[in-house]
Amino acid sequence: SFCFWADNILIDTHKKLKKGRKKIRLVVRKLDYLPVSYSQYFTVHRKTYIDQYFNEVFFTDYSLAKKYPMSMFSIENVPSYFKWDKYKEYMQILPNGIFAPDWKLPGLAGDTLTLSSLKGEIVLLDFWFIGCGPCFESIPALNNLLGKYKEDGLEVIGINCYSDNVEKIRQFCINNRMKYRNVWNGETICNDYKIKGAPIFYLIDKDGIIIYSQIGHDSKKLERAVGNLIHNTGR
């Protein structure tokens, strides 16, 4: 059994979330040194109180000598308590019917983009980060929407969060054939848009008003919302 303290940056994918430390406990089998259980404990200091988190998982019935199908490692096989539907109710994103907060963010080519400069267009914002499975799954749907409705005035803007390595972001966009524009440094507007997970989508009409919002990957719902707005809006 191993027990130690670790900074969040050592075990979290969000490199900018460096606050706090976690107590890690790892139990391995003496016979073959395979892990049996893993747990972590950490505290989060709020303004008026302290949250205490404890998570524990157990590993059974597996072997390094056995080959497992890749389907076992897909996002659909993540335990149900990690799925969107379990905690969507706790996420309060911006409501429909209000003006979307303006922003100015750097582009991947050294340029800058503002939301206000897109007024008069229909804008679909996609908040995402590298390493997010549902974000990756959303790419084909976003490419299809842009190809289908670009002539109708649709702009799809990807907003990358939690990375300050612009070259890494740029290469990710190229490798995954993201045909829509992307900006970065998105964590600076996460509070304004109440981003506490990803992907989160906001559909904004020509006047800058939020018409539809969506938590998580669901291409059919997203395509239906965009299609309805396009069909109800004259070019």
Mean pLDDT of the chain: 85
pLDDT for residue 12: 45
User: In which band, very low, low, confident or very high, does the pLDDT at 20 lie, cut at 50, 70 and 90?
Assistant: low
Task: Decide if 91 contacts 196 (C-beta within 8 A).
Answer: yes
pLDDT digits (tens, 9 = 90+) for 111-134: 999 999 999 999 999 999 998 888
Answer whether 40's CB lies under 8 Å from 54's CB.
yes
pLDDT of residue 16: 47
Residue 10 has a pLDDT of 44
Sign of the CA dihedral with 213 first, then 216, 220, and 221 last: negative
Distance CA 127, CA 161 (A): 7
User: Which DSSP state fits 104?
Assistant: E
| pLDDT for the residue 72 | 66
pLDDT value of residue 13:
45
Q: What tens digit of pLDDT does each residue of 136-181 get? A: 999 999 999 999 999 999 999 999 998 889 999 999 999 999 999 9
pLDDT band at residue 78 using 50, 70 and 90 as cut-offs:
low
d(CA 11, CA 203): 33
Mean pLDDT of 5-34: 69
Instruction: Name the band, by pLDDT with cuts 50, 70 and 90, for residue 56.
Output: confident
Look up tokens 């100015």; give the residue: 104
Please indicate whether residue 153 or residue 54 has the higher confidence score (pLDDT): 153
Does the structure show a pLDDT above 60 at 77? no
User: Percentage of residues in the chain with pLDDT exceeding 70?
Assistant: 82
Confidence of residue 57 (pLDDT cuts 50, 70, 90): confident
